[in-house]
Amino acid sequence: MEKVYERCCGIDVHKKVVVACLRNGNKKEIREFGTSTRELLMLSDWLHANECEMVAMESTGSYWKPLYNVLESQELPAMVVNAQHMKAVPGRKTDQKDAEWIADLLQHGLLKSSFIPSKAQRELRELVSYRRSLVGEKSRELNRLQKMLEGGNIKLSGTISDVNGKTGRNILNALVRGEVISRERLSELIVSHVKADSNRLLDDLQGVLTPLQRKMIGVVLKHIDELNKYIAELDDEIDGNMSDGDKARVAQLDDIPGIASDSAKTILAIIGTDMSRFPSANHLCSWAGVAPGNNESAGKRLSGRITKGNKVLKSTLVQCANAAVRVKTSFFSAQYQRLSVRRGKKRAIVAVAHSILITIYHMLKDGQLFQDLGANYYNQFNKERKVNALLSKLRQLGWEQHAVISV
């Protein structure tokens, strides 16, 4: 078989050691290196000395990232390969080491490189991912706070929509201090624009909190304040790491129903702005994990489960879809109503997420602005058949056409 690279290296990455197999024509040399920065630099010097043309490694957990960063800084071309793709290539000997097998496949051009974004985008991904984890931690703390209030028979969430809002925090701080909230004191704590009924709110606050419960609630409130501070700092850092072009695209994606600025930043940080690496919108949807699977045998469809995809991107799109279907005048709401009856609510939400991502793909690739098709989009097709179907349902309910009285 023709050799694509004369001198190349396959690397088997582990937690504490990396095994490198350097192929130079038909010759091979195998060495082991540690995973410290000093030893990884020794590996890169060895590859430079042997004029290595390309390096390949498996995407093993997160252990490949330090090695890839070192090779990138030393200007050594490297590719990260999906382990499933390597397993699908036939011909491996059972006693052959992983590094040798990677080097053999690389030398003959049988490896397909996974997309690795630029260093700036990788850093932006880390910022967005960490911010998302802090937001999740804040949600868990709010749920924990709600359970503590329920333990003291304080029904605050039943009256106030946002327990962590101004009115909610004023009341919680008063409870932590051990105050007895009277009607006059409650009027001082309520912010003017709150629509909650003061009488009902006063009844909901007639619980009993022990000193330990008040102390624990105070600790949770402090933690929530700290999380809000860290999230705000990360927001500033994310904005500082985004270019003016990226910020303009965030503003464009913000026009899509269900997508807010934070969600748009998360999506752009993960998929980037260059859509040329995805052959089509369906490839992007499959990579994101919002495309239905296609498992068929003998003409019979066995399963239509969605692919795994990128967890952060998938969950973000599903959140956006849940928000989009609440906009009753949008196409996404009509799509959800149409599919949820036949396929169920969960599948309908995934379908809406799929449509949102296709919309984003074309907006980024073609530079198009968002245009909502509207809630009546589906009504313009097969009008006569739909009218007949509705009339049939009315007749089943006992409606008769001659019973209509014209005025």
Neighbours of 226 (CB within 10 A): 13
- What is the CATH topology of the domain spanning 120-241? Helix Hairpins (1.10.287)
Structural domain spans, the chain: 7-116, 120-241, 244-366
Specify the pLDDT at position 370: 92
pLDDT, residue 368, reads 87
What's the pLDDT at 151? 87
Q: Can you give the pLDDT at residue 93? A: 54
Q: For residue 301, how many other CB atoms are within 10 A of its CB?
A: 10
Q: Are the folds of 7-116 and 120-241 the same?
A: no
3-state SS of 166-213 is HHHHHHHHHHHCCCCCCHHHHHHHCCCCCCCCHHHHHHHCCCCCCHHH
Is residue 355 within 8 A of residue 256, CB to CB? The reply is no
Contact assessment for residue 8 and residue 103, using Cβ atoms and an 8 Å cutoff: yes
Residue 406: per-residue pLDDT: 46
CA triplet 291, 294, 295: central angle to 5 degrees?
Answer: 140
Pick the closest to residue 173 from 188, 153, 195 (CA basis): 188
From the list 9, 52, 48, the residue with the least C-alpha distance to 31 is 9
Rounded average pLDDT per 10-residue block, the chain, 407 residues: 87 92 90 93 94 90 90 92 78 69 89 86 91 94 91 81 83 86 81 73 82 92 95 94 91 93 93 89 90 60 66 93 93 92 90 95 92 86 80 84 52
What is the pLDDT at residue 399? Answer: 80
Q: Residue 344 contacts by C-beta under 8 Å, 6 or more apart in sequence?
A: none
Helix axes 166-176 and 211-241, enclosed angle (nearest 10): 140
Q: What CA–CA distance (Å, rounded) separates 144 from 225?
A: 15
- CATH topology assigned to domain 7-116: Nucleotidyltransferase; domain 5 (3.30.420)
Question: Could you report the per-residue pLDDT of 96-149, keeping only the tens digit for each?
Answer: 588 888 998 999 888 888 888 888 888 999 999 999 999 999 999 999 999 998
Q: pLDDT (tens digit, 9 = 90+) per residue, 324-362?
A: 999 999 999 999 998 998 889 999 999 999 999 999 999
Burial class (CB in 10 A: 0-12, 13-18, 19+), 1: exposed
